[in-house]
Structure formats: C-alpha cells, structure tokens
C-alpha cells in the first residue's frame, strides 16, 4: 500500500456511550471507502473492529481496536473504543494517540453518561483535542436530530454547530444537507451521494444555520472578525480556511447527521475528516521526559520525519503466534527491521516488519512516517505504555494513567490442571487489558482479580475458559483484619514435658501491654542475671511472634503490642531452644485470657466524584456503611465527597455507586489505618472464623 506523509494522515479516536453505533460507524466508513468489500455488522460478528471471541459473543466492544481507510489521498486511522461503563477506561489510550476525538451519539437515546465521561477524558489531556460529533441511527424510530442537537449545545457548549443536517426523519431519513457548501445529497445502497435540491420546507432553518456557522468562524479569529464586520460576510477562502482553524483550535465543534446502517451521510463525514480534522503535526510538539528518567524535566519533540524516531505503545494484542504491539509514531521516519531502545526498560528491540492493522488483519509496509499508527510482532520486553526511541536520543512518554480497579474478587482454580495454567493465562490477558490487575494479597494469601466492574471480571473469566481452557471460581476477597490487646498483664509461660530420657523444660514471665495503632511489635529483654541463659531468650520472642501470627480471637495476626521478658527459669539438661519457644507460646495463650483482645478492621480513605445532585445521596449511603464524612470539594460540575469507611463495607460499593449516579460517578480509595471494630461486628467475624475452622487450638507439644 501507499506510504502516507504526516500531512496525509488523520487519526480519530471513536468514543461515546455504549450502543451509540461506534463500531458500526467505523464499519460504514471502511465500506464506503472500499477498505472492506461488505458492510460489517456487530450483530453477526462481521464488524472489522469487533473481532475478539468475547466481543462477538457479547455484541459489545471490550477493548480498543484499530482500522484504516483511504479517502481523497488521505489515510484515516480509526481507533474504535468500548462505550460501556465497565470498559470505557480503554478510551484513554485511544484519545492519547489520536488528534481528533470523534464522539458518536445515539439519535434516539441521546448523549449518554459515558459520552460525558469520554468528553472529560479528552479535556484532561495535556494537548487539546478537536472534537467531531456524529449523531448516528437517524433512521431509527423516535430518532430526533433536533432534540439531540439542543442537548449537545446545552451539555457541550454553544460552539456545537451542524455541518450536515438530515433530510427526512426516522425510516424516511434519506439524505443530508451540506451546510458548508449549501448542497443536498441523497444516497444509494452503497453510500454513494447524489446531489438533490435542498428541501424547501427546511430551507429557512438551513440558511440560518449556514449564517450562524459563518459568524462562528468569524468570531474565532480577530482578523476574520474585522473582515466580517467590514463586508458583512466572509469570502469562500476565508470561510473554509477559518473553519478548519476554528475546529483545530476547539473554537467550533462540528456536528454530523448519519445513519451507519444505511450509509447515509458517511461520505460527507469522510470529506470533512480529510478537509477539517488536524493532521498529526497540526497540534504542535508533544511532551516527553528527557532521557530515561520518568521524573526528569519535560522536553518537547516535534511531530515530523526530521526528528529522531520515537513511538508510544498504546495497545497489545495477544494471538496464538505471539504478541502484536500497536504504537503511535510520534517522531521520525521508522523503517522495517530497525532497532529501537525500550527507554523505560533499557533493552533493545528489533522491530522486524512493520504492519498496518485492519481489525485483526495485518498488512506489511516498508516504512511509516511521523504521526502514523503501526503494529509490529514478537517484541520481547515491550508492553502497553512503553516508549521506543532511538538510542542516541532517548525520550520517555508519560504512560496513560488508567483507572484503578474498582472491584476485586478472589480467584481460585477449579482443578490442579487449571492451577498450573492460571497464572500464565491471566498474565497474557493482563498484557492486553490495562484495566485488569492480578495480584497476590500478602495479608490474606489470596490471588485477586481487580477490574472496573463485575461485568469486566466476568468477561475475563469467560476469556480464561474459552481461549485458554482455564476454569476458575470467584468469591469476595477476605478482609485483612488484625487483632490487638487492650490491657497490660503479667503472665507466665511454663512448658514441661517428660516422656522418658531427656525431657523438655522452658519457663518465662512476660508483661504484655498494648501499643498505639501502627505501633507494631516490640520485645524488650529485661532479665538481669541468668534466670534464662542469653542464648534462649530469642526463642521466647520467636514463640510469641509465631503465636501472634495466628491471633487471639479469629485467626488474624495480633499487632500493636509490647512484650517485656522479666523472669524465668531453666533446667541444665532439659532446656533447649524448642522448649523456650513453647514457653513463649504458652505465655501468649495465658495473655489472651486477661488482656482483653479485640478485633481491628482496616479503614479506607475514600474519595467519590459524583454529579452535584447526587452528593447528598452518596453521603447518606457512606454513613450507612459506617463511614465518617471528612469533607466535600467542588470539581467542575461535580462534587468530591471525602470519607473514611471500613474496607468490609466497600466490597459491594461499585454497584451502589452506579445505581445512585446512573454510572456517572467514580471513586478512589486507599488504606488509611486500622481501628477497633464495633463489638457486634467483631462477634460475627469471630463466629464465622470458628465455623470455618480458622481458629486453631494451641498445640501441646
């Protein structure tokens, strides 16, 4: 295929709410340009960018996927993204590498919560992204362009202006009016436009929209504004050049009317992408870190072939033959078989052949210019978020910060065979899915899968079974409770055993006392003289710490206490290290009966970001979870509710948050401290531990 220069490339991140028709819109643009020979559909699994087996089964996008089309001498790269709340986080990677964010809105159901979330993601990027808005599914029953357009202006600003407007409604939607050139088109079954007269019944509103578009372009530039005031309008050249600048500078957001199912309005949309969307160099230089240090000062790298090569990896696909690494070339001309440095890991990677991706299909190319999106196979060390650059001019692009896991499940293999394959299979899925987190909890010893929602985790479990033939069971993760004591006590631990021959003897007196929270454990040797020989005193400490790991009430580690070894006795023949370990354990057991042991629960610092109208309900819900509200701050149109909440009360929080906020809320939590659990809560936990057999009697060795 032809190799395209930076100026001949357009990169579009396709984002929006689930079921708005993003994947079908990409399929329509691919078909209209001849990139595919049939109109792919989500329902029958033929859509180019939904090719994963789980995507086909569920009929939704689960990850980002790339495709490309050639139109009017320009290469258009599409990065299709999921729209459901569970997977919307993937859109961050697409928006990072695309100069244009294309928002797809359902003409029936309207904007949708995830469209607003994606808009916020685009706002958070360091370089401003121009936006296109496509109102799709105008052929459907109850589709209403006017209602959706009014909502767009109310939600995203008055600079949203149609560049195409519909002819006909619902099943009679048959064409569009090009507001820029004031021409009307109807479309055949292959999406080919045929010029027709502008309908008389809507001509007045179309004329008004055209004038409003000219005014918006004039207002975006001081020089154009002067010409507009002097002449009362703009020349065609001023208008068209100004329109492109206004879109690139985010002074104007174009809106388009389409039906991807019937290929109506697709060609005018493609024309507008070529004419008005920025090429990769139009947004200026890109920021990176100097050298290999991620904390180093920022530098800028121009998007052009004359710079040293540098690329950012934003997607990894795992196939049977190995990994496919998808990257955006930010600078330099990159050729096949070149060797670049993985800057963050300090390793060399030979790229081998370069490819472009059409969904899952790969096509070899010999070279790629700055700004293009390419794929390579079988890289050894490179993963999503890594930077590849020329060794002589290393820079490091900041990795995309994906959302933290909102929900965790403990995962257990169903069989020994599953256990042997589980870790390798999950790590392969992790390579593909930056929203997934697989960790071993050091406190509970459980392996945990963390993700954006239960739906996300269920999709991962299905992929484990169907792709890797590994079956697992999920359950709520254990809460890492702790135990401590509340009273200062003096106890004796005496171990004596005689079974014939040499016996066992160890005797110690200890004072146990509580320490402040996070005080840990202290052992103080206060024996003066030889009541216990020096070589056996550490054994007393070891016996106590071994017993403390198993706890005093419910099998959880006992913490925040101090032990003073004050006295003891020994036998010249029968005493040894083991005997004094047992003495220490028995001292611990004697302490349990007197020191008023209690249960500690982990308390999390929680920040919940919600629409302002939901803040009261959220605070009420957090209070019902035994939370303590710490404060509330404004963040744009949202409120950030801060609270401290027991971890055990947050295990089911994602579902409640989505219910209260209609999936518009998000939250972050991190460990704060341990605090004493209420007695009725502690009693239930102890009873459960006894029922599960986790409370073991101290052995009499």
DSSP conformation letters of 585-625: HHHHHHHHTTS--EEEEEEEEEEEEEEGGGHHHHHHHHHHT
For residue 214, give Cα distances in angstroms to 226, 227, 239, 432.
13, 12, 7, 45
Q: Could you tell me which residues are beta bridge partners of residue 565?
A: 510, 525
Query: What pLDDT, on a 0 to 100 scale, did the predictor assign at position 453?
Result: 85
- Tens digit of pLDDT for each residue in 588-630? 999 999 999 999 999 999 999 898 899 999 999 999 999 999 9
Query: In sequence order, what are the residues at sequence separation of 6 or more whose Cβ sits closer than 8 angstroms to the Cβ of residue 159?
Result: 216, 251, 252, 253
User: Kind of pairing, strands 175-178 and 183-187?
Assistant: antiparallel
**From CA 355, how far away is CA 373, in angstroms rounded?**
9
Sequence-ordered list of residues with C-beta below 8 angstroms from that of 466, at least 6 positions apart, any chain: 53, 54
Q: What is the pLDDT of residue 321?
A: 78
- Other beta carbons within 10 Å of 46: 15
**Per-residue confidence (pLDDT) for residue 280, from 0 to 100:** 97
Q: What is residue 118's three-state secondary structure?
A: helix
Closest C-alpha to 541, from 584, 505, 591, 495:
584
User: Which of 387-399 are b and which e, b meaning 16 or more Cβ less than 10 Å from the residue's Cβ?
Assistant: bbbbeeebbbbeb
Residue spans of the chain under pLDDT 70: 696-701
Q: CB 500: neighbour CB atoms within 10 A?
A: 5
pLDDT at 368: 97
- CA 456 to CA 438: how far, in whole Å? 13
Radius of gyration in angstroms for the set of CA atoms belonging to the chain, rounded to a whole number: 33
The pTM assigned to this predicted structure is 0.84
pLDDT, position 293: 76
pLDDT the model gives residue 685: 93
Q: What pLDDT is attached to residue 319?
A: 85
pLDDT of residue 364: 95
Question: 412: helix, coil or strand?
Answer: strand
């Amino acid at each position: 295929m032809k190799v395209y220069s930076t100026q001949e490339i357009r990169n579009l991140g396709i984002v929006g709410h689930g079921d708005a028709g993003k994947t079908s819109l990409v399929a329509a643009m691919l078909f209209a340009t001849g990139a595919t020979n049939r109109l792919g559909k989500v329902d029958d699994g033929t859509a180019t960018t939904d090719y994963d087996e789980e995507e086909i089964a569920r009929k939704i996008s689960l990850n980002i996927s790339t495709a490309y089309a050639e139109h009017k001498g320009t290469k258009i790269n599409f990065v299709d993204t999921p729209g459901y709340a569970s997977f919307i986080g993937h859109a961050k990677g697409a928006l990072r590498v695309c100069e244009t964010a294309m928002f797809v809105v359902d003409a029936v159901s309207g904007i949708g919560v995830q469209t607003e979330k994606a808009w916020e993601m685009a706002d958070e990027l360091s370089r401003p992204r121009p936006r296109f808005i496509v109102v799709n599914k105008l052929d459907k029953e109850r589709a209403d362009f006017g209602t959706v357009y009014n909502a767009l202006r109310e939600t995203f600003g008055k600079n949203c202006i149609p560049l195409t407007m519909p002819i006909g409604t619902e099943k009679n939607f048959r064409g569009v009016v090009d507001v820029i050139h004031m021409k009307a088109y109807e479309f055949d079954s292959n999406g080919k436009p045929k010029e027709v007269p502008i309908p008389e019944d809507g001509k007045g509103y179309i004329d008004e929209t055209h004038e409003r578009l000219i005014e918006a372009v004039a207002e975006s530039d001081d020089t154009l504004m002067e010409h507009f005031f002097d002449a009362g309008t703009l020349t065609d050249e001023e208008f068209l050049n100004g329109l492109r600048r206004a879109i690139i500078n985010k002074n104007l957001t174009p809106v388009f009317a389409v039906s991807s199912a019937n290929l109506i309005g697709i060609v005018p949309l493609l024309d507008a992408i070529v004419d008005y969307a920025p090429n990769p160099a139009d947004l200026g230089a890109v920021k990176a870190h100097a050298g290999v240090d991620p904390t180093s000062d920022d530098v800028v790298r121009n998007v052009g072939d004359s710079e040293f090569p540098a690329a950012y990896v934003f997607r990894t696909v795992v196939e049977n033959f190995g990994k496919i690494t998808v990257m955006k070339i930010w600078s330099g001309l990159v050729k096949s078989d070149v060797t670049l440095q993985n800057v963050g890991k300090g390793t060399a990677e030979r790229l081998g052949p370069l490819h472009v991706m059409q969904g899952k299909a790969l096509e070899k190319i010999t070279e790629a210019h700055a700004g293009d999106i390419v794929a390579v196979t079988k890289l050894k060390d490179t993963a999503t978020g890594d930077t590849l650059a020329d060794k002589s001019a290393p820079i490091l692009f900041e990795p995309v910060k994906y959302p933290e896991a909102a929900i965790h499940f403990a995962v257990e293999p169903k069989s020994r065979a599953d256990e042997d394959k589980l870790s390798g299979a999950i790590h392969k899925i992790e390579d593909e899915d930056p929203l997934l987190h697989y960790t071993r909890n050091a406190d509970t010893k459980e392996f945990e899968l963390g993700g954006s929602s239960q739906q996300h985790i269920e999709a991962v479990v299905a992929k484990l079974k169907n792709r890797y033939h590994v079956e697992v069971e999920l359950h709520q993760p254990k809460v890492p409770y702790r135990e401590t004591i509340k009273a200062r006590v003096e106890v004796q631990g005496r171990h004596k055993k005689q079974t014939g021959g040499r016996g066992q003897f160890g005797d110690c007196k200890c004072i146990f006392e509580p320490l402040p929270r996070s005080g840990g454990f202290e052992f103080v040797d206060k024996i003066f003289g030889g009541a216990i020989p020096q070589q056996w005193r550490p054994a007393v400490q070891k016996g106590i710490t071994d017993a403390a790991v198993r706890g005093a009430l419910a099998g959880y580690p006992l913490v925040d206490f101090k032990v003073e070894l004050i006295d003891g006795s020994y036998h010249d023949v029968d005493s040894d290290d083991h005997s004094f370990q047992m003495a220490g354990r028995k001292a611990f057991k004697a302490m349990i009966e007197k020191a008023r042991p209690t249960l500690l629960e982990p308390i999390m610092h929680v920040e919940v970001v919600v629409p302002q109208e939901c803040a009261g309900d959220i605070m009420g819900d957090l209070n019902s979870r035994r939370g303590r509200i710490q404060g509330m701050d404004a963040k744009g149109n949202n409120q950030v509710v801060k609270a401290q909440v027991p971890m055990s009360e947050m295990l089911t929080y994602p579902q409640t948050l989505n219910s209260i906020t209609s999936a518009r809320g998000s939250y972050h939590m991190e460990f704060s401290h341990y605090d004493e659990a209420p007695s009725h809560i502690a009693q239930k936990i102890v009873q459960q531990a006894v029922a599960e057999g986790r409370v073991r009697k101290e052995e009499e060795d």
